[in-house]
Amino acid sequence: MPESVLIDSSCWIEFFRGAQPELTRLIQKLLSDDRVVICGPVYVEVLGSCKHRKESQTVARYYDEFPFLDLTREDFREASYLRQQLRKKGETVATVDLLIAYLAIKNKCTLLHQDSDFDRIAKYSSLKTLRIT
């Protein structure tokens, strides 16, 4: 079975805008291959970028089709250990990005993104990333 892909909000927002044809084609392919998963932090970021409630409800219904990666208390603990590991290397990343990266690592997903925080996390962890700029 092909590996699942967790798509960061940085890519979803561009996908919905249709501004980057190569990224749009890749996401459409991942969708048609049924490889996309979603998580709470990405869900919040994308819905929060919507202009009004009706638009966010439409996006939420769209996301209901994807497997959802839940966060547990243990996940928050493990993510904090990852943060400590990064800090020892002199790297500081946003908490939301840390949680997204940790979920991708834990669930053995590739993370599709356009955010330099994930590049720094991948440099010092087992995070697998895919970046189209």
Q: CA gyration radius for the chain?
A: 15
Whether the full predicted model's pTM is greater than 0.85, yes or no, is: yes
If one counts the domains in the chain, the total is 1
The CATH number for 84's domain is 3.40.50.1010
Q: Is 109 in a helix, a strand, or coil?
A: coil
Beta strands per DSSP E along the chain: 5-7, 36-39, 68-69, 110-113, 128-131
Over its length of 133 residues, how does the chain's per-residue pLDDT go in tens digits? 579 999 999 999 999 988 899 999 999 999 999 999 999 999 999 999 989 999 999 999 989 999 999 999 999 999 999 999 999 999 999 999 999 999 999 999 999 999 999 999 999 999 999 998 7
Range of the domain at 21: 5-131
Q: Provide the token pair at 70.
A: 């839940």
